[in-house]
């Protein structure tokens, strides 16, 4: 209950604070890429229930079909979209998802239904026990490692082989120790990761989560960019 009340309070404030940034980004999207401002993505949420996750659109509409996985040099992404992705501005509408109860501030990042169906094993399904989050250990790992681990020639396949198991292992490891205060720690770490990524610097995940995650997947100790 405390987590949910905290989510609602932060999401409401965040939407008010983020509104000008969303508005500026929305105008930029309309001027640089014809089509809707928002991208409505179907995702698997708590207990596998499907929901619509809202993001600012970062790809051209005509090229929005295809794999839900984007590669480092994905030609579907337009320049402004690339900037909003790097700064995570495209994720700001997800505070609305938090407000209506689809998501939480911290929790396993939601995956596309086809990825869950094709690639999730038994232990991976355990990450669906709780609400998905805007940020998480797996989300940070994906943010700092995707450019290295995803192949431009096979984004979906390389994601499933090289990144998904590691992401979900970190999510699964965190479930065993998640608390209100550890969630706060990951919110702070997310901000640090965005700044570090933009500046080209390293950021490390908590060693205790990496150690536990190695029960399920091979993750470098002190994983970082």
Read off the pLDDT of residues 99-145 as tens digits, 9 standing for 90 and up: 999 999 999 999 999 999 999 999 999 999 999 999 999 999 998 88
pLDDT of residue 210: 92
pLDDT tens, position by position, 157-192: 999 999 999 999 999 999 999 999 999 999 999 999
pLDDT of residue 222: 52
What residues are paired with 43 via a beta bridge? Answer: 51
pLDDT of residue 199: 85
What residues are paired with 52 via a beta bridge? Answer: 42
Residue 224 above 80 pLDDT?
no
Q: How many C-beta atoms surround the C-beta of residue 133 within 10 A?
A: 26
What share of the chain in percent tops pLDDT 70? 95
pLDDT of residue 225: 46
Residue 64 above 60 pLDDT?
no
What residues are paired with 51 via a beta bridge? Answer: 43
Question: Residue 202: is it exposed, middle or buried by C-beta count within 10 angstroms (0-12/13-18/19+)?
Answer: exposed
- Cα–Cα distance between 110 and 48 in angstroms, integer? 9
Query: What is the CA angle 142-133-205, rounded to 5?
Result: 45
pLDDT of residue 54: 97
What residues are paired with 59 via a beta bridge? Answer: 77
Name the pairing type of β-strands 38-44 and 50-56: antiparallel
Q: At what angle do helices 137-149 and 180-199 cross, to 10 degrees?
A: 30
Residue 147 above 90 pLDDT?
no
Whole-number mean pLDDT of the chain?
A: 91
pLDDT of residue 106: 97
Which residues lie closer than 8 Å to 162 by C-beta, 6 or more apart? 149, 150, 151
Q: Of the candidates 189, 66, 195, 90, which has an alpha carbon nearest to the alpha carbon of residue 137?
A: 189
- At residue 59, the 3 state secondary structure works out as strand
**CA torsion through residues 122, 119, 149, 42, sign:** negative
**CA torsion through residues 223, 135, 87, 58, sign:** positive
Main-chain phi, psi angles of 195, to 5 degrees: -65, -45
Residue 221 above 70 pLDDT?
no
| Cβ–Cβ under 8 Å, residues 169 and 214 | yes
Mean pLDDT across the stretch 40-55? 96
């Amino acid at each position: 209950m405390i987590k949910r009340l905290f989510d609602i309070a932060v999401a409401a404030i965040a939407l008010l604070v983020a509104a000008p940034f969303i508005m500026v980004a929305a105008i930029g999207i309309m001027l640089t890429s014809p089509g809707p401002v928002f991208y409505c993505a179907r995702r698997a949420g708590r207990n596998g229930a499907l929901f619509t996750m809202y993001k600012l659109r970062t790809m051209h509409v005509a090229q929005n079909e295809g794999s839900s996985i984007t590669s480092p040099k994905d030609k579907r992404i337009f320049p402004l979209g690339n900037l909003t992705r790097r700064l995570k501005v495209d994720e700001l509408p997800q505070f609305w998802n938090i407000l209506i109860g689809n998501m939480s501030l911290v929790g396993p990042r939601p995956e596309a239904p086809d990825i869950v169906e094709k690639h999730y094993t038994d232990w991976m399904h355990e990450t669906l026990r709780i609400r998905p989050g805007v940020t998480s250990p797996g989300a940070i790992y994906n943010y700092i490692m995707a450019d290295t681990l995803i192949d431009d020639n096979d984004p979906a396949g390389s994601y499933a082989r090289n990144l998904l198991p590691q992401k979900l292992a970190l999510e699964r490891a965190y479930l065993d120790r998640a608390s209100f205060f550890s969630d706060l720690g990951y919110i702070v770490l997310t901000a640090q990761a965005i700044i570090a990524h933009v500046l080209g610097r390293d950021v490390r995940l908590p060693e205790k989560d990496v150690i536990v995650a190695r029960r399920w997947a091979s993750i470098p100790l002190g994983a970082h960019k």
